[in-house]
């Protein structure tokens, strides 16, 4: 009598890593955090690859986690992922959730290979940024929202440590002081994004002076552009219309004369609905 051996299924931990990652990506954040990571090391590894793809340390998921245990579990997985020693290429920090000083420093000192940093929230203190830039000296792309009181300090630190910056996206208050720091500190810049910022007309003129000889893209969409008296020149009821026409003509001529500049994104008209809505919102907030 011939005895046939039953075919044994492979153990869970031997399932294809890529297939596991695709399956886990279909799960809810709750299931990703509290399900697969507890099965075995292979499933934990697949979960980490699902949460942090292509060597991108994206921490924005924590903004959608409302319960403390979910946030705690996510930060625990972040720590495991960082301690694995992967060569991270970019970091996306959350907008709502604020990591503490020691957490930021812990992340920075273990991610020295990053070339892109996205910091979408206002800096409560510039100290974590200062320490982080000591480790992130290889960055070429820096996106951040800066507080009016901390903006110049952050830009100065960035200029001191990150000499190879090619793209900067800063949203906040940009005066001649910040403009000078950017132009002098990062002469190799190719992309400058100041959209939705409070931008002085003098600072705008400085960026179009030709001192950034490698500038390819310049974005000032939906900016609040202020004249010497602090008035928004793009307001619908702006009184000095002759000044506005002459100023607008000068700005556009400067931009067209920059041979290196390939893309100039702006709304230097009085018909941008988003700018009009923003102006109404600002006036209502001032009341």
Q: Which residues does 156 contact at the CB level (< 8 Å), separation at least 6? A: 181, 185
Backbone φ, ψ for residue 119 (5° rounding): -125, 85
Q: Which residues does 93 contact at the CB level (< 8 Å), separation at least 6? A: 59, 60, 99, 117, 118, 119, 120, 121
Predicted local confidence at residue 239, as pLDDT: 59
Predicted local confidence at residue 101, as pLDDT: 85
Pairing status of strand 141-145 against strand 263-265: unpaired
User: How far apart are the C-alpha atoms of 228 and 202, rounded to whole Å?
Assistant: 8
- Per-residue pLDDT tens over the stretch 217-237: 999 998 888 887 777 777 655
For every one of its 287 residues, what pLDDT tens digit does the chain have, with 9 covering 90 and above?
A: 455 555 555 565 566 777 788 888 888 888 888 888 888 888 888 889 889 988 999 999 999 998 899 999 999 999 999 998 789 999 999 988 888 888 999 999 999 999 999 988 765 566 778 889 899 999 999 999 887 777 888 899 899 999 899 999 999 899 999 999 999 999 899 999 999 999 998 999 999 999 999 999 999 998 888 887 777 777 655 556 677 788 888 899 999 999 999 999 988 776 566 666 665 555 554 45
User: How far apart are the C-alpha atoms of 233 and 243, rounded to whole Å?
Assistant: 9
Q: Which residues does 104 contact at the CB level (< 8 Å), separation at least 6? A: 128, 131, 132
Per-position DSSP letters for 204-270, written without gaps between them: HHHHTSS--TT--EEE-TT-EEE-TTS-BTT-TT-S-HHHHHHHHHHHHHHHHH-TT--EEE---SS
For the chain, how big is the Rg over CA atoms in Å? 24
Q: What are the sequence ranges of the domains in the chain?
A: 14-51, 55-286
Homologous superfamily of 55-286? Ribonuclease Inhibitor (3.80.10.10)
Query: Is residue 202 within 8 Å of residue 173, measured between CB atoms?
Result: no
User: How far apart are the C-alpha atoms of 244 and 283, rounded to whole Å?
Assistant: 21
């Amino acid at each position: 009598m011939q005895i046939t051996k039953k075919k044994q299924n492979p153990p869970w931990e031997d399932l294809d890593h890529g297939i596991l990652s695709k399956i886990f990506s279909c799960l809810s954040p709750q299931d990703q955090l509290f399900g697969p990571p507890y099965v075995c090391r292979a499933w934990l590894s697949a979960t980490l690859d699902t949460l942090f793809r292509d060597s991108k340390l994206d921490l924005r998921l924590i903004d959608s986690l409302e319960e403390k245990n979910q946030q705690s579990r996510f930060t625990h997985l972040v720590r495991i992922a960082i301690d694995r020693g992967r060569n991270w290429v970019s970091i996306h920090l959350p907008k709502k959730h604020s990591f503490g000083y020691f957490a930021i420093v812990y992340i920075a000192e273990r991610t020295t290979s990053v070339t892109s940093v996205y910091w979408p929230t206002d800096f409560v203190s510039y100290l974590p940024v200062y320490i982080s830039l000591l480790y992130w000296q290889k960055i070429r792309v820096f996106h951040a929202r800066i507080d009016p009181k901390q903006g110049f300090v952050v830009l100065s630190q960035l200029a001191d440590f990150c000499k190879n910056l090619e793209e900067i996206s800063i949203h906040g208050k940009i005066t001649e002081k910040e403009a000078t720091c950017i132009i002098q500190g990062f002469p190799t810049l190719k992309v400058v994004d100041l959209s939705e910022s409070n931008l002085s007309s003098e600072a705008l003129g400085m960026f179009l002076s030709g001192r950034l000889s490698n500038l390819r893209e310049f974005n000032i969409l939906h900016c609040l552009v202020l004249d010497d008296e602090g008035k928004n020149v793009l307001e619908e009821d702006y009184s000095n219309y002759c000044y506005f026409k002459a100023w607008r003509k000068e700005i556009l001529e400067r931009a067209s004369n920059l041979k290196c500049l390939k893309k100039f994104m702006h709304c230097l008209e009085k018909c941008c609905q988003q700018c009009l809505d923003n102006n109404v919102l600002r006036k209502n907030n001032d009341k």
